[in-house]
Amino acid sequence: MKDHPIIVGLDIGTTKITTVIGEVAEGGSVDIIGEGSVLSEGMKRGSVVNLERATHAIRQSVQAAERVSGVKVERVFVSVAGNHAKAITSHGLAAIRRNQEINQPDVDRAIENARAVPLDPNLEIIHTLPQEYVVDGQEGIKSPVGMHGVRLEVDVHIVAGTAGPLLNLRRCVQEAGLQVDGFVLHALASGLATLEAVEQMQTVIVVDMGGGTTDVGVFKRGNLAHSACIPIGGEHVTADLAQILKIPLEEAENVKKRYGAALPELADQDLTLEITTASGSTHAISAFELSRIIKPRLAEIFSLIRDEIDHTLGPVELVAQGVVLTGGAAQLRGVAELARDRFRLPVRVGKPRGIGGLTDIVSGPGQAASVGLVLYGIGQDGKVPHSVFRHDPQAEKVPGLIEVTAPVVTAPPPSTPAPKAARADGEGLMDRVRNWFKDWM
């Protein structure tokens, strides 16, 4: 039997660590042959805070995936949360000799020139992502090789990681007996795994909603053109519930997953929960009220993303055609509807796609990044990838917007004044909710 290349993604998140093993089949398609997920240890907001514990969890996750696949893992592509990354877009230019076709060295020269920007010595470049090319003023060219012109220009999105956190991540992976094939920005991996062919022709905002961070990537015609990281995630929603309901974090996490909704209108209107507080007293809370605690934090995350994009790229509604939510926290009921309300764009929840094999074991939005790492790995041939997506000419022929399945929900005006966005540290939260629950608190 012929040996097929094996590519392994290791997504080291704040909540969980996931290893996904992919086997490259004939024709370049990928079959998932193993997966191992364990609760994360030694990580906080995308950073290693305890080397030993993180190493231990990495080992556990990899071993679980090895057991499923029967493959020994030696090298891995590793995700990097966006809060350690700085991204800039830089312009590169190459002159082309008259009467000569543009060749690959010309393209490489244009990219190299774009890369020649002064960077903080504390930063290590992890991605050099060329956007579309411009030949003699003609914009929107995906592949300029073979064309004629005298002036080749390219915008390159450069993503650089802070050296310290990258070294810590590398150290943990190496201590776990593995080599790092490459670091990959979390939002890039998530987009690679979730964007449909039509979305690869549009400008789409990918929002990976993790536990400690929400990673954002703006993909323009299949290229990562902008990235950001909001240091708030699903853990903060859980912490809000625990604080307000006075229950332990684990219980708040369970309540959120089972009964929570991002919009009170979408909560189970007939459901009332009996809550026993840490001090032993009990009280009842409806699922509707539960969702009123959950909503502000998620709305805050979406507002921060909106502000970020408004500042850097322009008004969200004009910049993008759609939003794809992914990551574990995108599984909360009503989250797409809330996002649609905030972004005023079509929103869907994205799950891993473009793979074969054991697809059922990596079918959730929480596995998008780990599957994306494998897909990224396939695009690597030791050279700068020209497009992170493999170009599918069929996709160009499909017009229109992305398909949207979730219904549009317009929230009724709140009876109390709209709460101000909470700060990341949760300050002011009690004030916001005291009004809502003054009857029973």
Ligand X SMILES: Nc1ncnc2c1ncn2[C@@H]1O[C@H](COP(=O)(O)OP(=O)(O)O)[C@@H](O)[C@H]1O
- Binding part of the chain for Mg ion, among 109-117, 350-358, 367-375, 401-409 by CB under 5 A, reads 367-375
257 binds ligand X (CB under 6 A): yes
CA 106 to chain centre: 33
202 binds ligand X (CB under 6 A): no
Cα–Cα distance between 280 and 292 in angstroms, integer?
24
Least gap, CB of 20 to Mg ion (angstroms): 12
83 binds ligand X (CB under 6 A): no
- Of 32, 89, 16, nearest in space to 378 by CA: 32
Among 82, 92, 144, 210, binds ligand X (CB under 6 A): 210
350 binds ligand X (CB under 6 A): no
Q: Which two tokens stand for residue 150?
A: 């005298």
42 binds, among Mg ion, ligand X, none (CB under 5 to 8 A by kind): none
144 binds Mg ion (CB under 5 A): no
- Of 331, 150, 185, nearest in space to 258 by CA: 331
238 binds, among Mg ion, ligand X, none (CB under 5 to 8 A by kind): ligand X
254 binds ligand X (CB under 6 A): no
Among 329, 371, 388, 433, binds ligand X (CB under 6 A): 329
211 binds ligand X (CB under 6 A): yes
Q: Which is nearer to Mg ion, 13 or 149 (CB)?
A: 13
365 binds Mg ion (CB under 5 A): no
Among 210, 234, 322, 334, binds Mg ion (CB under 5 A): 210
> By CB neighbour count within 10 A (0-12 exposed, 13-18 middle, 19+ buried), where does 353 fall?
middle
Among 23, 199, 235, 308, binds ligand X (CB under 6 A): 235
Q: Which is nearer to Mg ion, 13 or 264 (CB)?
A: 13
Cα–Cα distance between 90 and 163 in angstroms, integer?
21
Q: Which residues contact 43 (CB under 8 A, 6 or more apart)?
A: 12, 13, 14, 17, 49, 54, 212
Q: Which helix (H) or strand (E) holds 12?
A: strand 6-12
14 binds, among Mg ion, ligand X, none (CB under 5 to 8 A by kind): ligand X
Q: Which is nearer to ligand X, 256 or 351 (CB)?
A: 256
Least gap, CB of 234 to ligand X (angstroms): 2
Among 238, 262, 316, 350, binds ligand X (CB under 6 A): 238
Q: What angle do CA 307, 229, 192 make, to 5 degrees?
A: 110
Least gap, CB of 186 to ligand X (angstroms): 8
23 binds ligand X (CB under 6 A): no
Strand partners, 204: 219, 322
> By CB neighbour count within 10 A (0-12 exposed, 13-18 middle, 19+ buried), where does 439 fall?
exposed
User: What's the number of CA atoms in the CB half-sphere (13 Å) around residue 63?
Assistant: 9
60 binds ligand X (CB under 6 A): no
283 binds ligand X (CB under 6 A): no
Least gap, CB of 256 to ligand X (angstroms): 6
Cα–Cα distance between 345 and 116 in angstroms, integer?
37
332 binds, among ligand X, Mg ion, none (CB under 5 to 8 A by kind): ligand X
Least gap, CB of 54 to ligand X (angstroms): 12
Q: Which residue's CB atom is positioned nearest to ligand X?
A: 13
Cα–Cα distance between 375 and 206 in angstroms, integer?
16
370 binds ligand X (CB under 6 A): no
14 binds ligand X (CB under 6 A): yes
The three-state (H, E, C) secondary structure of 79-140, written as one string:
EECHHHEEEEEEEEEEECCCCCECCHHHHHHHHHHHHCCCCCCCEEEEEEEEEEEEECCEEE
- Amino acid identity of 207? V
Q: Which is nearer to ligand X, 57 or 178 (CB)?
A: 57
Cα–Cα distance between 214 and 207 in angstroms, integer?
7
Least gap, CB of 53 to Mg ion (angstroms): 18
Q: Which helix (H) or strand (E) holds 16?
A: strand 16-24
**Chain residues that interact with ligand X, rule: CB under 6 A:** 13-16, 40, 210-212, 233-235, 238, 253, 256-257, 327-329, 331-332, 366
